[in-house]
Structure 1
Amino acid sequence: MFEFDVTDVSHWISRYVFPFARISGLLMVMPLIGTRMISQRIRIFLAVAITLVVVPVLPPMPKVEALSLASFIIVMQQLLIGIALGFIVEMLTQVYVIAGQLIAMQTGLGIATTVDPSQGASVVVVSQWFLFLVSLVFVSLNGHLVLIEILIDSFSTFPVSMQGFGANDFGLMIRWSGWMFSAALVIALPAIAALLVVNLAFGVMTRAAPQLNIFALGFPVTMVVGLFIMWLNISEMAVGFQVHMDTLFEFLKKLTSRQ
């Protein structure tokens, strides 16, 4: 007959619970999988499946009692790490949402809004279109697979322990969020510059012919020019997204490196 020691069973449970906490934290907030369109049952199933597959190749876990304060702290730390990694990736997609809002405000397309099914909020159509575009590019470039690979490698570079993210790590995340706004401005800059030229031209026309109804003419022209600029930049946007995604993955590797 086999005899099981309570300590051995507790360590065996901890070996699966700690990785599950980090993996489920990532799947909870990462793009596509972490949206409201994916049910919680599917996310839990994916987290369990990934955990069962990767646990045999992971480094040894801390041997603590499964039902103890130390175990609870470690689980919370791992959950926070996974949520932080997923949130940083989510900020990459929000770059293009912010860029779409900037373009929509400049072109007059901001009045066209729709409900984002992934967030349940009302957003402008341009932002939603950009979000769909970058989501498809993210999947086509196997970004979700690379992200999971980085997460699994983080168990070796950032081992499971009582220690989580420190002040320097949170400082890096804050600086990364600042990069999000600057990148969104760079993406929207061509449309903003083109519409600035159009508005200057309308200003000259208004001075030359004051009787011209510039508001009736300017609104459709700015919309057409904005759509034309977006059409010109659509091919470069996918290339730029790949560059941003490579930058993101390098940042995640730097954030989870403790060796």
Structure 2
Amino acid sequence: MPELDAIEVSHWISRYLYPFARISGLLMVMPLIGTRMVSQRIRLLLAVAITLVLVPVLPPFPHADAVSVASLVIVLQQLLIGIALGFVIELVTQVFVIAGQLIAMQTGLGIATTVDPSQGASVVVISQWLLFMVSLVFLSLNGHLVMIEILADSFRTLPVGFEGLGPEAFGLIVRWSGWMFAAALVISLPALTALLIVNLAFGVMTRAAPQLNIFALGFPVTMIVGLFILWLTLSDMAQSFQGYMDILFEFIKKLTVLN
């Protein structure tokens, strides 16, 4: 009888341990929650709370001793799946960070930098501003709730077991990283095109009036035009982020069925 009780306790622990590993991996790297601004205790409490809510509605898991090599392999697999899902979400927010850096380099605002508290690094002010904007849009669209829903569905499409994400899934993630740079270029393209026209106009002015001090005049005009174009395209950027979130959710659903 004591041996039977030990087996039941081991199965009960593994029942909560495997989902907790996947959920904690997601919360570790996903936007907003996975940043330094959220303490590890809060993330741990969120992971525990989500685990307690999801476990009763999840399908059965493979029976393995909680203290065994097999159980350790399953935990590492679930942790890797959660980190991969959170990494894919983070790439969408980094699209606007890269777009802000491209715009800042062309407008001359790249010299204006600030410390990003979420990453602990110095970033361009425009990139930080766009990151704040997409973070608010992400919360307003209930992106965090949709991610929890997709995470719960992933336990059915990608069940807990010894098989995790395969090579095809990681290949999709690599290609998704390439899509991030293409999307950033598309977002910054209106501002880059407008600034290119401004630079061409200054080139014509220099040829027409060589005595004109193009450096003293061009730098402030370029900054003003860049900020004006950024203000005009701000609403389109928010709509673009909403479209990118839809693409993200479809990509994650496709990623979790490749088991």
Give the alignment of 1:78-157 within 5 angstroms. Answer: 78-157=78-157
Q: Does 2:174 correspond to 1:178? A: no
TM-score if structure 2 supplies the norm length?
0.98
How far is 1:4 from its partner? 5.5
How far is 1:186 from its partner? 0.3
Q: CA RMSD in A?
A: 1.3
- Aligned match of 1:159: 159
Distance 1:175 1:227 in 2: 32
Per-residue Cα deviation, 1:44-68 (whole angstroms, up to 9, x for no partner): 0000000011100000011000011
Distance 2:119 2:33 in 1: 12
Consecutive unaligned residues in structure 1, runs of 5 or more: none
SS of equivalent residue, structure 1 residue 115: strand
Residues 1:72 and 1:2: Cα distance change in structure 2 (over 3 Å): closer
Letter in 2 for 1:247: I
Distance 1:199 1:232 in 2: 19
Per-residue Cα deviation, 1:105-138 (whole angstroms, up to 9, x for no partner): 0000000000001000000000000000000000
Q: Does 2:184 correspond to 1:187? A: no
Q: Does 2:204 correspond to 1:208? A: no
Distance 1:199 1:53 in 2: 57
Distance 1:199 1:92 in 2: 31
Distance 1:144 1:238 in 2: 17
SS of equivalent residue, structure 1 residue 218: helix
Q: Does 2:49 correspond to 1:49? A: yes
Give aligned pairs, total: 259
- Aligned match of 1:13: 13
Distance 1:169 1:54 in 2: 24
Distance 2:239 2:90 in 1: 18
TM-score if structure 1 supplies the norm length?
0.98
Distance 1:121 1:220 in 2: 27
Consecutive unaligned residues in structure 2, runs of 5 or more: none
- Aligned match of 1:235: 235
Distance 2:175 2:3 in 1: 53
Residues 169 and 258, structure 2, Cα contact 8 Å, conserved in 1? no
